[in-house]
Amino acid sequence: MRKSEIRRLVDAAKAVCSRAYAPYSGFRVGAAVLTSGGDIYTGCNIENASYSMTMCAERAAMFNAVTNGHHDIIAIAVYTDTAAPIPPCGACRQVIHELGRGATVIMACPSERIDIKREDDLLPNGFTEDNLGKTVP
């Protein structure tokens, strides 16, 4: 990925981070996904008093892209207001693996430090449709 694409994606994730609804943890996260056509879709984390119903920013952004007809996610940026970049949680890694196979995962924070990994480095041997004995249409 070009530096300009990375910056554009991180800026989108940072902007949406401020919209996070995190009254319980105070842990705000913004995410932005890039499709192969250059479209960007964003999402932020949305907490709920019954924690299990919380939605992570990464999944919100990916589901936003899919809702808008995109199944071609090539990159995702995750922005957290922390001292160091934070990787996606396990649930988000699985969804990235499903919807963005081989995608670039960009993790950023206010210090301007950016960590970049491939999706399969974060979730090696992830669960796929092959494990179900099915193919996705």
Active site members? 58
**How many CB atoms sit inside 10 A of residue 49's CB?**
8
50 Cβ contact partners less than 8 Å away, ≥ 6 residues apart: none
Burial of 17 (C-beta count, 10 Å sphere; 0-12/13-18/19+): buried
Q: Taking Cα atoms as reference points, which of 93, 91, 85 lies closest to residue 122?
A: 93
